[in-house]
Amino acid sequence: MVLPDAKNPADLGGGCVRPVCYHNQEGPHGQSAPRDTALSTRILGIESSCDETAAAVVSDGSQILSSIVASQVVTHRKYGGVVPELASREHLRQIVPVVRQALAQARLTLREIDAFAATRGPGLVGSLLVGLTYAKTLAFALEKPLIPVNHLEGHVHAVFLEARQKGCEPALPAVCLIVSGGHTVLYWLERPAHAASASACGELSYRCLGQTRDDAAGEAYDKVAKLLALGYPGGPIIDQLAKQAGDGHVLSFGDTKIRGNPFDFSFSGIKTAVLYFVREHAELAPEIRARQEALARGMRQAEQLKPLCSKMTLDLVRAFQDAVVRDLVERTFAAGEETGAASILVSGGVAANSELRRQFEHRARECGLETFFPSRALSTDNAAMIAAAAYPKFLAGIRAGDSLDAEASLPLA
């Protein structure tokens, strides 16, 4: 096991490692935010649940001292989705340089870290094991606490982390929509009244209100983009192309009907509707081939692909996005109204979508319910949210033992 040495900058590897631009914080070579070294608790968080290897140092659950994310998009692009075996191999390659870079950006040594936190689940078990084992080893070697974090709780804390930095904490109880490539789930969250000590430490309690019965929303974006030869990941490119459809767009998909729990989601129907539309319109085949060739030549930007998209394709992606966003907004606000929530939180990769943000903000104004998002950089998977989620657990004395294992379907309850 290689331990990172932040004092050796020449040793900071990691070809596609990128620092995250986050709110109210300077980059790796800028002036670090001032901190009280004697009083603050610095937690190094590690996230490796899916296709991002990430490490971050967060002070007192509220101040991001560093945040590094190594994305695996290039590795998975040619398959149009995440390949689990390749993901674990990439995490193994990236974990050491990513942790080193997070320490260097925070200008801290390992010994100055007070606790280590890692994602325990849910996620791909081979991927989770890399980050968790590494964090376990660091904690054991340095005799520091290890705190396990649920990935979904991390997404919730991404919202609190940034809201706190702006001085506007979301009111509780709240309804939180977590919407990404692997998850689409609605939670009710509040401060637990029964556990005074946990509540005083800022621990939240969660109740699942509903979740997707098939594809996650981000997964539907990625699959529709693959079908239409728009590249991977599908969310950002569809977000941009949908804006180009203009007001005269003619296509639209109906609302998704779900029996039973009104707060459950389903996105496989809309994905299949796009597939049938493409099959029924043979005239789309030549432009799909042209885009496949363009992607093979590395042309992935919206401005490069847009000239290869007919009006019908732009209308189609717009109709797909409108249907997905409408469904997410309607069910989330319905849950907010039925449960009497004081605010709405939205997090996860799809929360970066510009139309989704616009519609949530519009609806929030209508209902008088404030809606909170993390910045786009902290919407997708990152480790700052893991370190932030670990802080109330640290205060509450929650520690993991040596037997801690990754759990692919870890529930948040």
Which of 153, 203, 215, 239 is close enough to bind ligand ADP by CB under 6 A? 239
Quick one: tokens of 155?
């997404």
Q: Which residue has the tokens 């904690």?
A: 139
Q: Find which of Mg ion, ligand ADP, none residue 45 binds, CB within 5 to 8 Å per kind.
A: none
Least separation in angstroms between residue 121's CB and Mg ion is 15
> Which residue, 117 or 325, has its beta carbon nearer to ligand ADP?
325
Q: Would you count residue 218 as binding ligand ADP (CB under 6 A)?
A: yes
Q: Find which of Mg ion, ligand ADP, none residue 131 binds, CB within 5 to 8 Å per kind.
A: none
Least separation in angstroms between residue 412's CB and ligand ADP is 14
> Which residue, 353 or 359, has its beta carbon nearer to ligand ADP?
353
With beta carbons less than 8 A apart as the criterion, state whether 120 and 407 touch.
Answer: yes
Helix ranges (H only) for 297-375 are 302-305, 311-339, 354-367
With beta carbons less than 8 A apart as the criterion, state whether 175 and 144 touch.
Answer: no
Cα–Cα nearest to 409, from 124, 132, 173? 124
Least separation in angstroms between residue 95's CB and ligand ADP is 17
Q: Would you count residue 374 as binding ligand ADP (CB under 6 A)?
A: no
Can you say whether residue 121 is alpha, beta or left, with left for phi > 0 and alpha for psi between -120 and 50 degrees?
left
> Which residue, 182 or 336, has its beta carbon nearer to Mg ion?
182
Which of 72, 353, 359, 371 is close enough to bind ligand ADP by CB under 6 A? 353
Nearest residue relative to Mg ion (C-beta): 381
- Would you give the distance in Å from CA 58 to the centre of its chain? 17
The DSSP string of 7-25 is T-GGG---TTEEE---TT-
Cα–Cα nearest to 339, from 374, 369, 372? 369
Which of 241, 350, 378, 384 is close enough to bind ligand ADP by CB under 6 A? 350
∠ CA 156-160-165, rounded to 5°: 150
Per-residue contact track with Mg ion, 284 to 323, x per CB under 5 A?
----------------------------------------
Strand partners, 372: 345
Q: Would you count residue 215 as binding ligand ADP (CB under 6 A)?
A: no
Q: Would you count residue 322 as binding ligand ADP (CB under 6 A)?
A: no
With beta carbons less than 8 A apart as the criterion, state whether 265 and 220 touch.
Answer: no
Q: Would you count residue 221 as binding ligand ADP (CB under 6 A)?
A: yes
Q: Would you count residue 154 as binding ligand ADP (CB under 6 A)?
A: no
Q: Find which of ligand ADP, Mg ion, none residue 221 binds, CB within 5 to 8 Å per kind.
A: ligand ADP
Quick one: tokens of 247?
């007001």
Q: Would you count residue 50 as binding Mg ion (CB under 5 A)?
A: yes
Quick one: tokens of 157?
């804390």
∠ CA 70-74-55, rounded to 5°: 10
Contact residues for Mg ion (CB under 5 A)?
50-52, 381
